[in-house]
Amino acid sequence: MPKDFISVADWSADDLLRMLERAQQLRRLHRADKRPQTLQGRTLAMYFEKPSLRTHVTFEAGMAQLGGHAVLLRPEQVGIGTRETPRDVALNLSRWVDGIMARTFSHDLVCELAKHATIPIINGLTDLLHPCQAMADLQTIAGVMNPRQATLAYVGDGNNVAHSLILLAAVLGMRIRVATPASHRPDLGVMSQAEDLGAESGAEIFWTDDPLAAVKGVDFIYTDTWTSMGQEDEAEQRREIFARYQVNQGLIEHAPDARLMHCLPAHRGEEITGELLDGPRSLVYEQAENRLHSQKAVLEAVMLTSSAP
């Protein structure tokens, strides 16, 4: 298996499904108040360049619940690029802890840490990818139906969440329809990689600028904020560009049985109406809960493998 968890595309379908199975088991154990101490004595360094609720709490709580410990590192404390090079940070941490979770702006920074670290690197989010969210989404979909039989529509900005969902579908052979404005399409490199993977897995992946065409008859409709961290100066412009991509009652009438997904945080009344986000078809808090269990499965997958003799 890969040393690092940087992209779901680095892992095989069998590996991802094993992590899914373990995440589901960990959720059942958690609800039965059972905490397997599989990472006892191990330490995870958590490096955050971006604000976080779900990523921070679920990784720190996950390590504690598995018997390990997490250390929070802030950019002003570490000084990557000013006080320290990525290489030196990776080599130092490799001698002290058992894994690194990094939540950064630059995807290249996470790749640079992984290049030099001898311990696992977990991508907690970059501007390009959000693989941990995709694994929680996979677990959420699996709680409703077989993911390989599901059709998912993603509506909104072709961002890091969309990229990881596209790659997840490509690896597992899922069906995904992506609807974004032409000006905010998913990254061409990601789409090319997904097409290559999908040719082997049988995945059905397509892009359209028509949200109605994307959602027609699907099982799940997914959206995300129109303005991500670092894009605040574009907020007003983005509200105009994405106005017709709002997930609202008119849109979901084209998918009468669809469940609704959002990775949070949400802006009620922008990318999705409040009545739908908080309504009975919404899975958003299932997704949030599953961040804990799916990431515990990821932690076990990389940290136990890396420590094996």
Known catalytic residues?
Answer: 103, 130, 133, 224, 263, 291
E strands in 99-194: 99-103, 121-125, 151-155, 175-179
Residue 4's alpha-carbon distances to 1, 120, 189, 301, in angstroms, are 9, 5, 20, 9
What type of residue sits at position 89? V
105, 50 Cβ separation under 8 angstroms: yes
Query: Could you say which DSSP state residue 187 is in?
Result: P
Apex 111 CA angle, 88 and 190, nearest 5: 170
78, 45 Cβ separation under 8 angstroms: no
154, 222 Cβ separation under 8 angstroms: yes
Would you call the peptide bond into 131 cis, given omega within 30 degrees of 0 as the criterion?
A: no
Q: At what angle do helices 160-172 and 13-31 cross, to 10 degrees?
A: 110
CA 17 to chain centre: 15
